[in-house]
Amino acid sequence: MITPPSSVRQSATVAVLLLVMLSGVASSVLAQATPSAGRATDDTAVSASAASRDFTGALVDSFKLVMLEHLTRIVSQEKTRAELTGPFWKDYRQSIVLPRQWEDTDSWMVNYVGHPIHGAAAGIVWLDHSDKDRAASIFSPGYLASRARAAAFSAIYSVQFEVGPLSEASLGNVGRKPETAGWADYVVTPVGAFAFMIAEDALDRYFVRWVEDHVKNRVVRATLRLAFGPSRFLANSAENRLPWYRPDRPLGGR
């Protein structure tokens, strides 16, 4: 049996990930473009159907988000590319471990800034597919509960990202070496996501909007939105929107 070179297998893995991500994008577009076969007449059925569509949309967009994150890891991290070789299932099983310590081998910035940002991005994906939670304005009644639900979704997203079928464990074998697995990722990601979502909402409402009221330059406005909304930038990318998109106001103003 001829074994292909490591570079070929790595390239093939990246190609497969790209195809899977593109298929997810295509399926979401088709789902939105295809008219429903019929209309439900029962109010309960209509409500359940709407809730189902929202949940499905959140799953599809969170799938695209995780694929974008893994593609970034593979492109930018040599250590991840190096682990794409070898027996997949054996390495994956060995990588699913119960952490023995709080910290892993990642830097402070990755653990306490990067992970909360990517968790908040998953939370925003949830918010964008929940009419009730998305409509809650900052510090209004129900606002904190809405962000708590989004953080709960980010906790599920985080577990999948760490040890799920499309995870650091399956794509990069993080955890196979005991020192690379830590509890910090599981705890800091949803807790930090909750804090980041509130912080970004506050900055957008009380600072970015204020600047936009006084500055009409589109480049300045886009830069501010990206700088003070990194989680929204990631979520927008997964949801096929421009990075600086805001649902309540266009970039150039009204």
Can you give the pTM of this predicted structure? 0.78
Q: Which two tokens stand for residue 126?
A: 């949830």
Distance CA 165, CA 175 (A): 14
Residue 171: which residues within 8 A CB-CB, separation 6 or more? Answer: 13, 17, 70, 73, 74, 80, 84
Cβ-contact 154, 72 below 8 angstroms = no
pLDDT of amino acid 37: 36
- φ/ψ of 225, rounded to 5, equals -65, -40
Q: How confident is the prediction along the chain (254 residues), in pLDDT tens digits per residue?
A: 344 444 434 444 443 444 344 334 334 433 333 333 333 333 443 344 444 348 899 999 999 999 999 999 999 999 999 999 889 999 999 999 999 999 999 999 999 999 999 999 999 999 999 988 988 899 899 999 999 999 999 999 999 999 999 999 999 999 999 999 999 999 999 999 999 999 999 999 999 999 999 999 999 999 999 999 999 999 999 999 999 999 889 998 66
CA atoms within 13 A of residue 99's CA, in its CB half-sphere: 19
